[in-house]
Structure 1
């Protein structure tokens, strides 16, 4: 009887584990994968570190003691394993380096450590002098992106995508006010934008959109937008209106400073976040769907319009942060071939996001002035993983992320559900999108009156 029971239980357990691994990989890892991986790492730690070149010879005192006592020479010593803990996607190792070791040595050996510990990925970062943290992922977290339940938006800090080490990438507009989003067709650039809009729709913020493709990307989300331009002429006027709003906001900030010797330093501000609540203007996020449509021109009139647009954009990205105006620019290419002022505009965009690109030159437009390694990583994004991107900033750091799929229907539902949060700004009233009325429900055909004889 016990043998027959085992024949039933073993296939059931194996099948259940396989289903759990596919449907809930994080649960499978915490229940089965993490305990086994922790035991494997603990037992093989010293030998793996030695094989990866991360062990140092013993100190002179220990060598002298071995000679005096005529004992065997002690082996090379690996970094001290200060902590080992599991996470929902992998393991975290805290290492204390020995004298003579360097954090760059550990970073250079991450690929060897990945193979030796049989993990999916290993990343390294220096916590402080002499302390290095290794984050190991036990499975491919970017294959089927599942955002953690605890990833919540806090003001203008919103969760956008999942990093390859299992952490969440947040788009923090107060820390990185302006950003560039590059990507080829079908690379997931629009999905990234929908995710931004869906998360921002829940916050106290005014959304302003420019979509020169007649609004096909942003018009369905119009119920949550305070202003929307679907052609270049309207975009030029809208940008100049934002510049005027920015100037008015600076006048408010300057008026409320009232500098004097008896005012505490904490009450002196140079941006909207230090203003009293009743005087603080609502922050504005400007989303531009395809920047090339604003920079291209075919005649003299369009050239003058282009100069107005580029000048306004440069002013906004240079001065808009303190006034609470944040710019998100999307496009397939963003190079000097778009004309004068483009490289100056790009230099002001701190955040950089590059989805799959068609050539290396497009990746260089985002990361050439930041990190050559990020350029190489952007060119290696596979075509079968839309939404995967390289995220970097002006500090030179970068990480591989993937945005969870957000359909247009989901983004529209989020905007419609939070349409009551749309601020009514008087300056932007001429650009408020015209919302369609309710669609009449088809019913039985009304009886037609008889024709006159």
Structure 2
């Protein structure tokens, strides 16, 4: 990939144990799985990631099936947002459609990937941020199983194929185990970047790191509860390191998304999922709202 395009793929402000920056490089590691229990620092990691990406010429797509509680504040910078399993299913289908259209574009121009397309026809890179992956895998009723299987299939297809056309997955969760059902292990195999914060069960640490750096599993399971933001990062090369995420409040991440809202690209295929951005609240009145009228006898 030409050096001039490299900034499209890099985001992150975490520090590795040796004091160097831990950088999320989408050129080398297109898809990632980030795990962590409540209060582990996983949300902080996500905020830093989103704040870093928001400043770059990329499109951001949010999937937050907890009614958008984590991602709705990022709406000014999101090209699409799904906040229920039904919406997530339709959005993932639209993303697969966008992927196929981009492959048609590659074929039409004889290009091998997004970066070998002529600049004037090159689509913007997209990063898909899944807040809680278990919400997509688990079903409460038999009738939802077909939708669940469809969503998992779409995610696996995106993870297997979308790198070439500039669509990247950031999948997050409190836990990730084989009990999530069919497709969990297959999806995990494609998410080669791994960041594991403190977790509540060893199976989640095993699923996060066991297949790429088995010795890192112990490091992840011994993160103390009083060290939020500490995590173990690994990749398919077998290397791993401890990292620490700097503190960032939700308000700070939201402010960055508002500041860089002008970079939000319009993606035609995702337009039905573009979140409504609430107007800024009116400035507080400096005087009484009703003009006083003198009392007359």
TM range (shorter): over 0.9
In the alignment, the residues of structure 1 paired with residue 261 and residue 118 of structure 2 have an alpha-carbon distance, to the nearest angstrom, of 26
Larger deviation, residues 432-441 vs 415-424: 432-441
Partner of 2:79: 226
Higher RCO (C-alpha 8 Å, min separation 6): 2
In the alignment, the residues of structure 1 paired with residue 113 and residue 170 of structure 2 have an alpha-carbon distance, to the nearest angstrom, of 20
Partner of 1:281: 123
Compared CA separation, residues 442 and 160, structure 1 to 2 (3 A): closer
Tell me the secondary structure at the aligned position of residue 276 of structure 2: coil
Whether the aligned pair in 1 keeps the contact of 2:8 and 2:125 (CA below 8 Å) is no
1:251-330 paired onto structure 2 within 5 Å: 251-257=104-110, 269-330=111-172
Tell me the secondary structure at the aligned position of residue 345 of structure 1: helix
In the alignment, the residues of structure 1 paired with residue 250 and residue 8 of structure 2 have an alpha-carbon distance, to the nearest angstrom, of 23
Partner of 1:417: 259
Q: CA RMSD in A?
A: 1.5
1:55-104 Cα offsets, whole Å, 9 max, x none, are xxxxxxxxxxxxxxxxxxxxxxxxxxxxxxxxxxxxxxxxxxxxxxxxxx
Aligned counterpart in structure 1 of residue 52 of structure 2, from 180, 190, 199: 199
TM-score, with structure 2 as normaliser: 0.93
Question: Displacement of 1:168 after TM fit?
Answer: 1.2
Tell me the secondary structure at the aligned position of residue 121 of structure 2: coil
Tell me the secondary structure at the aligned position of residue 404 of structure 1: coil
Partner of 2:290: 446
Structure 1 unaligned residues grouped into runs of 5+: 1-152, 258-268, 449-453
In the alignment, the residues of structure 2 paired with residue 362 and residue 428 of structure 1 have an alpha-carbon distance, to the nearest angstrom, of 32
Partner of 2:3: none
1:39-58 paired onto structure 2 within 5 Å: none
Question: Displacement of 1:304 after TM fit?
Answer: 1.2
Partner of 2:279: 437
Tell me the secondary structure at the aligned position of residue 306 of structure 1: helix
Question: Displacement of 1:442 after TM fit?
Answer: 4.5
In the alignment, the residues of structure 1 paired with residue 28 and residue 164 of structure 2 have an alpha-carbon distance, to the nearest angstrom, of 12
Q: Is 1:240 paired with 2:105? A: no
Aligned length: 286
In the alignment, the residues of structure 2 paired with residue 375 and residue 403 of structure 1 have an alpha-carbon distance, to the nearest angstrom, of 19
TM-score, with structure 1 as normaliser: 0.62
Partner of 2:295: none
In the alignment, the residues of structure 1 paired with residue 150 and residue 290 of structure 2 have an alpha-carbon distance, to the nearest angstrom, of 54
Partner of 2:233: 391
In the alignment, the residues of structure 2 paired with residue 377 and residue 442 of structure 1 have an alpha-carbon distance, to the nearest angstrom, of 51
Question: Displacement of 1:438 after TM fit?
Answer: 2.9
